[in-house]
Amino acid sequence: MTVPDTHPQAQRNTGRKTLVIGLTGGIGSGKSTVAAEFSKLGVPVIDTDRLARELVAPGQPGLQEIVAHFGPRALGNHGELDRDYLRTRIFSDSSDKQTLEAILHPRIRQRVREWLATITSPYCIVVIPLLLETSQTDLVDRILVVDAPENEQLKRVAARDGLSHNAISGIMAAQADRKTRLSAADDIIANDADHDALVERIRELHLQFMDLTHEH
């Protein structure tokens, strides 16, 4: 998937005191690992995937709206969201995907803004896997891309989620392509070496971000 070829910096809000780093990357690139390492350094991390899970918990209006559109099959045996069923629906029908995004994304954006309003640290990380695809760059001040070769993405996701090669390829095709992500990045973490190298790069960026906030 290719997103519009416009650099997102012009769309960003620079009126915040806390520097907001938008962390993104393709499936299997290592976003969660990177976010966890920033958290170890004391950096606040807002994970939009976690917010999305909270918004579709049993009893939440978001889940009720999903069921109203997708039907009772969208629920599992214990009243929870059937993610496998929903994944199949949205990847086989683009209109279903758009509907799901219309239900969830405004709620996620609102939660992110609420969290950002409470943060007093020099900078924070907001993990948004579909940052570019969903035009949410206005939420952040800088874009940090976690990059990995596509064959590595395939291997990691297969080992982690047990999905087939075709299923993973379908997810990757629905995301921004690697070139588009890299061209939009202010900062890049190449996650193609060992863990020690990854941690060292994260520490370098931590110092860089602190310098940018004049708090180092």
The pLDDT, as a whole number, for residue 4 is 37
How far apart (Å, rounded) are the C-alpha atoms in residues 17 and 190? Answer: 28
Backbone angles phi, psi at 22, to 5 degrees: -90, 115
Note whether 128 and 24 are within 8 A (CB): yes
Q: What is the pLDDT of residue 16?
A: 56
Among 7, 10, 45, 47, smallest CA distance to 202 is for 45
How far apart are alpha carbons 126 and 120 in whole angstroms?
14
pLDDT value at residue 8: 38
Taking only the tens of pLDDT, the chain with its 216 residues reads: 434 333 333 344 445 589 999 999 998 899 999 999 999 999 999 999 999 999 999 999 999 999 999 999 999 989 999 998 998 888 778 899 899 999 999 999 999 999 999 999 999 999 999 899 888 899 999 999 999 988 888 888 888 888 788 888 878 887 888 899 999 999 999 998 899 999 999 999 999 999 999 754
Predicted local distance difference test score (pLDDT) of residue 158 = 85
How far apart are alpha carbons 30 and 24 in whole angstroms?
Answer: 9
Assess contact for 179 and 197: CB atoms under 8 A: no
Please tell me whether residue 147 adopts helix, strand or coil conformation: strand
Prediction pTM value = 0.85
Q: What stretches of 3-71 adopt beta strand conformation (E)? A: 19-24, 45-47
**pLDDT at site 3:** 42
